[in-house]
Structure 1
Amino acid sequence: MDKKAKKRSEVLRKKLVDLQQKLSGAKQQMDDPEEVRQLEAEIAAAMEEISRLKAS
């Protein structure tokens, strides 16, 4: 993994932690079920990009 990919991976990991906290709060409150689906999709996309960066 080159320097740029490593930095992007670190940024995505930090974003992932933030998204997981938001998802936890959204699941507890459940005001907007669409928000939960959106957060889950963002988490999946971030995880997929991390795995793609690791593979390169």
Structure 2
Amino acid sequence: MPTISLVSPKGGVGKTTAAVVLATQIAQKGKAVVLIGSAYKARQSHRCSQHPAR
């Protein structure tokens, strides 16, 4: 199973946006996706719960 990681110590560089867009594109192709965020804001989980895959 391939693993993709988006990492940068600097904030505000678009990691969350890139991760959510990439995960969405992969999921739309019918692949299983797990998106895990380690930032204290947990925005990945929040965004995914707002727009669940169909």
- Range of TM-score over shorter length: 0.3 to 0.5
Report which structure shows greater RCO (CA 8 Å, sep ≥6).
Answer: 1
Q: Which has the higher helix share?
A: 1
Work out which of the two has the higher radius of gyration on C-alpha atoms and give 1 or 2.
1
**Normalising by the residue count of structure 2, what TM-score does the alignment of the two structures yield?**
0.45
**Normalising by the residue count of structure 1, what TM-score does the alignment of the two structures yield?**
0.44
